[in-house]
Amino acid sequence: MLKNDLFLRAARGEHTERPPVWLMRQAGRILPQYRSLRASLSGFKELVETPELACEVTIQPVDELDVDAAIIFSDILVIPDAMGLPYEMIPGKGPFFPRTITSAEDVHQLLEGEEAAASINYVFDAIELTKKELNNRVPLIGFAGAPFTIFCYMFEGQGSKTFSKAKKVIYQNPGLAHILLDKITSSTIAYLKNQIKAGADLIQVFDSWAGVLTPHSFATYSLPYLKRIVDEIKDVPVTLFAKGTWHSLNAIADTGCNVIGLDWTQSPKDVRKLLGEKQVFQGNLDPCALYADADTIRKMTNTMLHEFGPHYIANLGHGVYPDTPLDNVKVFVETVKRFNLVENT
């Protein structure tokens, strides 16, 4: 059915002629067509909550970069919003929550499960519309934030280097932390199942701030919830991207996820040694490497492709930075597309 199913075949562990390629945060400010559409709107939320607009910006990078997958344009923060903590997106600063969790009572008042997920209709509509508009060119990725990363925003109310307000709760009130993580997880599972019903071909879970946890806290406050999500998503492959968790790769593989997303702090050779040739990895070029000249980008990309070998999806180690020159992004994508797995590994 799909005209280009490289990405899904690789995610399922099947053989591909070359590695598929896409970029985390490919839909967004690296593209002039995104910036001009965004400038004409009242704000980020209008874009996320209007299916026709979300569909348009989801397809922009497929047209412009010719990547092997689209990712639905949305944000991980739609989950706290639907549970009862609305977010704002402050231009030039990022997310901001006027209200945060300050008591057990706040936690008890949050919606959970289907009831929370039901109000995120705009994402399900955007997925349905985008599947139609893509007309089977490439698969469509659905996504959500990991429970721990959402938990961070619910206490902190904004970005942070340390997320110490959120971490304070796991040391002072672990019982409450688990009650909240459980509610976020049930909402996320319902949300992801609805994305799949609407047409998402693969699910990626972003645990962007997992790296602030100790290995033990990651095993206690993040992994069990990631595992529950993986257990519940049966119909499509699942990618877990838990940034900064090089210490727990074996445990992440043991969740049974199909693909492990890697940040740039792990070397392809080391992760292959640890988890073998069959494990499907995604990543992990340093996003800053795309500031280099074209020849250097080609060299670094080819080395990475060669070292990962088969069972691999090319990407960066985190989202592409908004000031990355578009031509450099294109050099990266084209280098992957020229790579021949049979000749080179």
Residues whose CB is less than 8 angstroms from the CB of residue 172 and which lie 6 or more positions away in sequence, other chains included: none
Asked if 272 is an active-site residue, the reply is no
Torsion region of 253: left, alpha or beta (phi above 0 gives left; psi -120 to 50 gives alpha): alpha
Q: With contacts defined by CB under 6 A, name the span among 3-11, 87-95, 231-239, 325-333 that binds ligand CP3.
A: 87-95
Contact letters for ligand CP3, residues 211-250 (x by CB under 6 A):
----------------------------------------
Token pair 């997925």 in the structure block, residue: 127
Q: Is 208 in the site for ligand CP3 (CB under 6 A)?
A: yes
Nearer to ligand CP3, 150 or 280 (CB): 150
Report yes or no: 326 and 334 within 8 Å, Cβ to Cβ.
no
Report yes or no: 319 and 75 within 8 Å, Cβ to Cβ.
no
Q: Is 206 in the site for ligand CP3 (CB under 6 A)?
A: yes
CB of 269 to ligand CP3, least distance (A): 25
Token pair 């180690």 in the structure block, residue: 317
Q: Is 76 in the site for ligand CP3 (CB under 6 A)?
A: yes
Give me the helices (H) in 97-240, please: 104-109, 113-117, 121-134, 147-156, 164-172, 174-198, 215-221, 223-232
Number of residues lying near ligand CP3 (CB under 6 A): 21
Q: Choose, by CB under 6 A, the member of 73, 124, 281, 339 that binds ligand CP3.
A: 73
List binders of ligand CP3 among 153-172 (CB under 6 A): 159
Cα–Cα distance, 195 to 233 (Å, whole number): 11
DSSP 147: H
Asked if 38 is an active-site residue, the reply is yes
List binders of ligand CP3 among 306-335 (CB under 6 A): 319
Q: With contacts defined by CB under 6 A, name the span among 20-28, 123-131, 215-223, 256-264 that binds ligand CP3.
A: 20-28
DSSP run (H or E) holding 254: helix 249-254
Q: Is 147 in the site for ligand CP3 (CB under 6 A)?
A: no
CB of 177 to ligand CP3, least distance (A): 19
Residues whose CB is less than 8 angstroms from the CB of residue 139 and which lie 6 or more positions away in sequence, other chains included: 2, 4, 5, 7, 8, 68, 69, 70, 201, 202
Q: Is 44 in the site for ligand CP3 (CB under 6 A)?
A: yes
CB of 71 to ligand CP3, least distance (A): 5
Q: For residue 252, give both structure tokens.
A: 């992440």
Q: Choose, by CB under 6 A, the member of 2, 50, 66, 89 that binds ligand CP3.
A: 89
CB of 26 to ligand CP3, least distance (A): 5
Nearer to ligand CP3, 143 or 225 (CB): 143
CB of 48 to ligand CP3, least distance (A): 8
Q: Is 95 in the site for ligand CP3 (CB under 6 A)?
A: yes
Report yes or no: 134 and 62 within 8 Å, Cβ to Cβ.
yes
Residues whose CB is less than 8 angstroms from the CB of residue 108 and which lie 6 or more positions away in sequence, other chains included: none
Cα–Cα distance, 218 to 153 (Å, whole number): 17
Asked if 323 is an active-site residue, the reply is no
Given 25, 137, 272, 298, the catalytic residue: 25
β-bridge partners, 314? 21, 283
Asked if 25 is an active-site residue, the reply is yes
Residues whose CB is less than 8 angstroms from the CB of residue 166 and which lie 6 or more positions away in sequence, other chains included: 151, 152, 154, 155, 156
Q: Choose, by CB under 6 A, the member of 18, 38, 183, 193 that binds ligand CP3.
A: 38
Q: Is 27 in the site for ligand CP3 (CB under 6 A)?
A: yes
Tell me which residues are annotated as active site.
25, 29, 38, 75, 153
Binding site for ligand CP3 (CB under 6 A): 24-29, 38, 44, 71, 73, 75-77, 89, 94-95, 143, 159, 206, 208, 319
